Every structure is written in structure tokens, then in C-alpha cells.
Amino acid sequence: MVLGAFDGDPASLSLGHGPRPTAGRGRVVVRVEAAGISYAEVQLLRGLHPFPPRLPAVPGYDLVGRVVEVGAGVRGWAPGDRVAAMPRSGSWQEFVEVPAAILAAVPEDVDAARAVALVCNGVTAYQMAHRSARLRPGQTAFVQGATGGVGSVLTRLLVHHGVRVIGSAHPARHEVVRALGAEPVDYRSGVADAVRALAPGGVDAVFDHIGGESVSTGWRLLAPGGTLVSFDSSVDGFRSGQWFRPHLPVLRKVLGWGVAKALGLTRGRTAKTYYVRPGERFRADIAALFELVAAGVLDPAVHARYPLERVGEAVRTLMAGGVVGKLVLEP
């Protein structure tokens, strides 16, 4: 699936055909079983992702599949191995060549679509909860977008860890929030007042994927010693080609709060940005997520599955809102 223009129109995606890639040194070829669809691709399509590829390009941030070829110098992986990877682009195709260093093992008994819901989204949720905010049982967290791809996994992980969760969502999805074990609030208006009514003393962590004024609201909701984690920014209202501009306001605020904390002016509150990366921690944390799936603790939600030929429809579904869990392409 090839992207030809940063014009915001899913019609810019076209189905292409070409030879199967071969594995270069230190790399493998993977036959893709499932690839994720996320807001990273929406930002890319609109010309607003901070790290755009050169066009024409194949989108696709994360994948689950099976190794079919191993290049020279690769150790620890063989044809037939089931793997996950987060190449950040290139996943929306039948075969993809990726560095062996970014691979993680996937159990044979996990459905590919449910597994890919844990690659970028799941590891993001796990690392924000356990590495960035480092929440403890008995604490309280506020999750913006508690039914989304990241938010639903994050909410379930926190609840399992013994954290009280307040989650924002559309009222039509409040029962989903309750089913995850959290307390819902309406994301559309009066969020701050609703959270304060449930947690008058403030919350110990805020997880924000909206940016802008939402980050400032989250900062004000923090209790002394609390942590705000910003893991994305809305690109609404920005023009195509303003790659970093949607993210700059959050970065400025986080840096400013960092200086204020160093001066002892934040009552111990901390603000961080988060960006998921491959590596040893990624492998360790996705393995922990698969253990939680095997134990029945975690059941990653798949909103819908699409063949490559319907990728435009899938992207429009995500852009329209109302998605609960992960949208998945199955080449």
C-alpha cells in the first residue's frame, strides 16, 4: 500500500505490486500477518507527522508476522519464527524487510490482530505506566481517551496494578470504560471539574494524547508529587507540511515545567513526553504483555479488521472517531 501525497485524503493510498524484498546483512524479511492502523498514519497522511518518509512510501508503524528469510550476520532468528516489529513505516504490505535488531518474539497461540494491538499501543501503555509514571497500587490516574488503542490497554494495566483510574470517553462508551474497571467522565466538556469531583485532592498521574490546552488542564489536575505524561498532540487546525509545529507547544510547556521543578516551584510535580522505541526494553515489556494475555488479565481490543484493499475505509474510520481498541490490516 503506497502513499503518494501528504494531502490528508485516504485516496492518496494506492495498492501497488512489486518483487518480494530480499534480506540484507543484519536484516530479515517478514511475511506480515497483521499491521496496525494508528494516528501516526493519519498524521503522516495529513503531512503533520514529525518524522515523514520520502515519497512514495509504504506506511505502517507496527506489525506481527513470520520470518521467511534471514540475512547474513543475523543471530537468534530463523525462518518460521513468529515476530513483532515496529519499523515505523513499511508495515502495510505483504512482505517487509526490517532490521533483525528490532524484532520481538510473539507466542504462537496469540491471534495476530490481538498481538499487533500490543506492539506500539501496548508497549506505549506499559512503559508509561511502569517506567514513566511508575505508579503504585492505591494511587489515582487520569487517562485521556480511555477506550482508544493506547488508552484501553493503559486503563486495564493500571487497574490490574491496583491503581484507581478515571478515564475520559464519549458518553456512548462509558460502559466500556466501566468494563475496563475505571470511572468514566465525558471528554467533550467540563473534564477538569468532573475529575476534581472524583479526586478532590488531585490525581497522581495524567496521561494525555491531545496536547495543547489539554496538557495544561492535566497539569493543574496533578496532586503534589504527581506526574504528567504527554504521548501525542492533536494536529487539528494545522496545515500540511507543518511537521513539528503541532508538537512544539507541548515541548515548550514540558521544558518550562522542568525548569520550574528545578527551582522548587511545582510542589514536586513532573511533566514528561513519551515516545516508544525498539530495543531491549521493548522486547522485555512486550513479553510481559503477552504473559498478561496468557494469564487472562489482558484482552487487547480489536475494533475491526480490513484487507489491504480497504485501507482507505479503515483510515476514514479512524479519522471519524469512535474507535474502541485497534484497527488492523490483514494483508
Q: Is residue 164 part of a domain?
A: yes
pTM: predicted TM-score of the whole model, two decimal places = 0.93
Q: Is residue 67 part of a domain?
A: yes
Contact 13, 311 (CB under 8 A): yes
Give the domain CATH number at 144: 3.40.50.720
pLDDT digits (tens), the chain, 331 positions: 788 777 778 888 888 888 999 999 999 999 999 999 988 888 888 888 877 788 888 999 999 999 999 999 999 999 999 999 999 899 999 999 999 999 999 999 999 999 999 999 999 999 999 999 999 999 999 999 999 889 999 999 999 999 999 999 999 999 999 999 999 999 888 999 999 999 999 999 999 999 889 999 999 999 999 999 999 877 677 777 777 777 888 999 999 999 999 999 999 999 999 989 989 999 999 999 999 999 999 999 899 999 999 999 999 998 888 888 899 999 9
Give the domain CATH number at 70: 3.90.180.10
Q: Is residue 285 part of a domain?
A: no
- Does one domain contain both 42 and 171? no
- Does one domain contain both 239 and 268? yes
* Domain with 74 in it: 2-117+301-329
Q: Is residue 284 part of a domain?
A: no
- Determine the Cα angle at 277 with ends 232 and 169, to 5°: 30
Q: Is residue 283 part of a domain?
A: no
- Does one domain contain both 258 and 125? yes
Q: Is residue 279 part of a domain?
A: no
List of residues 6+ apart from 72 with CB closer than 8 A: 24, 25, 26
Distances (CA, A) of 279 to 13, 180, 229: 30, 29, 21
Amino acid at 170: H
- Does one domain contain both 185 and 232? yes
- Determine the Cα angle at 76 with ends 326 and 86, to 5°: 25
- Does one domain contain both 151 and 261? yes
- Does one domain contain both 141 and 260? yes
- Does one domain contain both 158 and 97? no
- Does one domain contain both 197 and 172? yes
Q: In total, how many domains does the chain have?
A: 2
What are the grid coordinates assigned to 310, written together?
A: 480497504
- Does one domain contain both 125 and 109? no
